[in-house]
Amino acid sequence: MFDQRIIQAYKQAPWRVQLQWIGALLLVLVVGMLIAGVYLYLSAEATAAGTQIRELELEREDLQIRIADLSTQLAFLRSASFMQSRAETLGYKNASQGDIVYIPVPGYSGRQVIFLAPPPGNDPVDASIIKPAYKESLWEWLYQGTFDLIESRGLKP
């Protein structure tokens, strides 16, 4: 009987216990919602970035086509027949041997064949356009971040 009294005296009131439970549940709920919110936010960001990347890739393809087209258009405008007719319209005529004066230029070895690209050996660095941050999951990011932190402090994982 005495024991029961002692227990009753120190026992939490039922409404307190209920409040504690409700508080704990709310805490779990809030933490869960926070995690879900962060997850949703990151997913939305990743989706937006992914969509933007797709658009940029399509734009890059369009630009490559446009560049090729403009180079060809320029070549049409600089074609031999077009330039000849333009020059004639402007009053020029083809030079004959009598029109030319030759002057010796020391060290000049004549016109050189075009170089449109560097010779082999000068390899550019092969860099990926999309950074890893855009491709890794939250978990991978956390894991990698933790790993990097541990490594930077000189600790073994």
Partner 1 sequence: MNSTNSRLRFVGVIFLIVGLAIIFQIIRVQNSPQAKEMISYLEKTYNQEVRVIKPERGNIYDRWGNLLAGNTEVYEVGIAPSQVVNSDTVAQDLSSILGLDFSEIKKIARSYIEESNEQYMVVVDFVSADKVRLLENKLAEYEKAAKPKKGSAPSLNGVHWVAHLRRSYPENTLAANILGFYNYYDRVDGRGILGLEEQYNNLLAGTATRVVLPMNPTAIQEIPSVPPGSSLILTIDRGIQAATERIAQKAQEDSGAESVTILVMDPETGEMLAMATTPAFNPNEYQKYGEVFPQGSHYNRAISQLYEPGSVFKVLTMAAALDSGAVTPETTFVDTGAIEVGGLWIYNWDRGAWGPQDMTGCMQHSLNVCLAWTATEMGPTTFYNYIQTFGLGKYTGIDLAGEQVYPLSLPGDQNWYPINLGTNAFGQGVAATPIQMITAIAAVANDGKMMAPHVVKAYIQDGHQYDISPRLIRQVITPDTAHTLTEMLANSLENEASVALVEGYRVSGKTGTAEIPGPGGYESSVTNASFVGWGPTDDPKFIVYIWLEKPTSSPWGSVVAAPVFSEVVSELTVLMKLPPDSVRQQMAQP
Q: Which residues contact 133 (CB under 8 A, 6 or more apart)?
A: 141
Is residue 157 a contact point for partner 1 (CB under 8 A)?
A: no
CA atoms within 13 A on the CB side of 51: 5
Tokens of 109: 């070895």
Chain centre to alpha carbon of residue 37: 25
Is residue 12 a contact point for partner 1 (CB under 8 A)?
A: no
- Contacts (CB under 8 A) with partner 1, residues 23-52: 43, 46-51
Q: Provide, rounded to whole angstroms, the least separation between the CB of residue 115 and partner 1.
A: 6
Cα 140 to Cα 30: distance, rounded to the nearest angstrom: 24
Helices (H) and strands (E) in the chain, counts: 4, 0
* Comparison of 98 and 157: residue with beta carbon closer to partner 1: 98
Of 19, 75, 138, 149, the one binding partner 1 (CB under 8 A) is 75
Is residue 92 a contact point for partner 1 (CB under 8 A)?
A: no
Closest CA to 129 of 43, 42, 59, 40: 59
Is residue 109 a contact point for partner 1 (CB under 8 A)?
A: no
Of 12, 18, 20, 72, the one binding partner 1 (CB under 8 A) is 72
Binding residues for partner 1 (CB under 8 A): 43, 46-51, 53-54, 57, 62, 64-66, 68-69, 71-76, 78-81, 84, 94-97, 100, 102, 104, 110-111, 113-122, 124, 128-130, 134-135
